[in-house]
């Protein structure tokens, strides 16, 4: 794993937007009430916010960015870099960060690029934003992280149909000479790529009538090759193999003990997985943030969404030491230990 620290990087604020449309988890022809209750108990998800067909992750991120910039008093012309982390961009090309740059009216001197990551993407995004600030390549960075995974999940595939929601976030970072270094740990295992993927529809396996057709799969699930395939058991194996050492490595690097941490915000994968990780790592459950019930698993946006949902009042009021832990699609993982003085956190809002 890669272990590093970035001084002079300050998190100033976070905002997260979700689509106004709510999708409760309800029995259907595919799943009766008993089975559904079992699924809800395992996932912890009772409803989600899902984007209408014309709403993209970039729209939610742009809304979050506008709100955050207004709250912070950031002029568009003052932003030096915009990053967009997502697996559901607007187009194959150009980079969605470039179109967001235009929509937000940022300066021509401002850099813009996309990062294709999901569950670990927020932590990677923070680290890349931080590297630009630490190297003085940028003084102010807008990190936009979001996904609309509900659009690629088959509603006739039990492994994904009741889990994913949509959200878009914005995080503001800038240079501060007085800041405690942020410690990061990152890693990847590409051998796991096939366990969580959309197999077709791009250049490796281009879209055809056949790849677009839903087919019967394991356990009677129906999905096309252009929809999300998730091997839940293999992902669980990966998670319990990699996440405990990830957190231990981060604690060693930062010099923190479990008692020094105020909050742990993990990727909101599902309730069973988070509960098991808490037990396995002997983390104090009351410090671990859960935000699955109303929003589901929102992929790359789940960490900022959980912060906005649960910590908006607390982080504005007093300093806090937080651990952020992302893990999943790739397989890819990353964690950050951040000593926050205060953070402008907007409560989650609907668009």
Token code pair at residue 307 = 């912060």
Burial 279-303 (b: 16+ CB within 10 A, else e): eebebeeebbbbbbbbbbbbbbbbb
Return the number of the residue (236 or 349) whose C-beta is nearest another protein: 236
Antiparallel, parallel or unpaired: β 9-18 and 166-175: antiparallel
* Interface with another protein, residue 136, by CB under 8 A: no
Per-residue x/- track, 213-252, another protein (CB under 8 A)? ------x-----------xxxx-xx--xx-----------
Return the number of the residue (100 or 228) whose C-beta is nearest another protein: 228
Alpha-carbon span 137 to 54, nearest angstrom: 35
* Interface with another protein, residue 349, by CB under 8 A: no
Respond yes or no: is residue 259 known to be catalytic. no
Respond yes or no: is residue 101 known to be catalytic. no
Respond yes or no: is residue 119 known to be catalytic. yes
> Which listed residue (183, 195, 267, 308) is catalytic?
267
CB of 158 to another protein, least distance (A): 8
What are the residue ranges of helices labelled H in the chain? 33-43, 57-72, 96-103, 121-134, 209-212, 232-254, 271-281, 302-310, 312-317
* Interface with another protein, residue 38, by CB under 8 A: yes
Give the C-alpha distances (Å, rounded to integers) separating 124 from 131, 295, 313.
Answer: 10, 22, 26
The angle at the Cα of 4, spanning 197 to 13, to the nearest 5 degrees, equals: 75
56-115 residues near another protein, rule: CB under 8 A = none
Per-residue x/- track, 146-185, another protein (CB under 8 A)? ------------xx--------------------------
Active site residues: 119, 267, 297
Residues that bind another protein (CB under 8 A): 38-39, 42, 158-159, 219, 231-234, 236-237, 240-241, 272, 276, 279-280
């Amino acid at each position: 794993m890669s272990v590093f620290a970035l001084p002079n990087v300050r998190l100033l604020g976070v905002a997260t937007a979700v689509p106004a449309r709510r999708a409760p988890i309800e029995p259907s022809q595919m799943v009766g009430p008993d089975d559904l209750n079992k699924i809800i108990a395992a996932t912890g998800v009772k409803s989600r916010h899902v984007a209408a067909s014309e709403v993209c992750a970039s729209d939610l991120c742009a809304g979050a960015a506008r709100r955050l910039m207004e709250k912070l008093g950031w002029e568009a012309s003052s932003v030096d870099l915009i990053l967009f982390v997502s697996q559901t961009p607007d187009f194959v090309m150009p980079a969605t960060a470039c179109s967001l740059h235009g929509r937000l009216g940022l300066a021509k001197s401002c850099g813009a690029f996309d990062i294709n990551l999901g569950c670990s993407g927020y932590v990677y995004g923070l680290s890349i934003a931080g590297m630009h600030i630490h190297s003085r390549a940028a003084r102010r960075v807008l990190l936009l992280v979001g996904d609309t995974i509900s659009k690629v999940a088959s509603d006739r595939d039990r492994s994904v149909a009741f889990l994913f929601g949509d959200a878009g976030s914005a995080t503001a970072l800038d240079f501060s000479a007085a800041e405690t270094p942020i410690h990061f740990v990152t890693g990847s295992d590409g051998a796991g790529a096939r366990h969580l993927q959309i197999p077709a529809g791009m250049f490796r396996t281009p879209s055809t009538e056949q790849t677009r057709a839903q087919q019967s799969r394991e356990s009677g699930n129906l999905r096309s090759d252009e929809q999300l395939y998730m091997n839940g058991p293999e992902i669980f194996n990966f998670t319990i193999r990699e996440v405990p050492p990830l957190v231990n490595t981060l604690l060693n690097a930062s010099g923190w003990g479990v008692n020094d941490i105020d909050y742990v915000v993990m990727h909101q994968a599902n309730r069973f997985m988070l509960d098991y990780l808490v037990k396995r790592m002997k983390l104090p459950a009351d410090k671990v943030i859960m935000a699955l019930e109303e929003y589901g698993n929102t992929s790359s946006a789940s960490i900022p969404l959980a912060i906005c949902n649960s910590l908006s009042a607390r982080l504005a009021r007093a300093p806090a030491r937080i651990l952020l832990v992302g893990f999943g699609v790739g397989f890819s993982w990353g964690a950050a230990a951040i000593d926050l003085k205060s953070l402008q956190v907007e409560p989650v809002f609907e668009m």
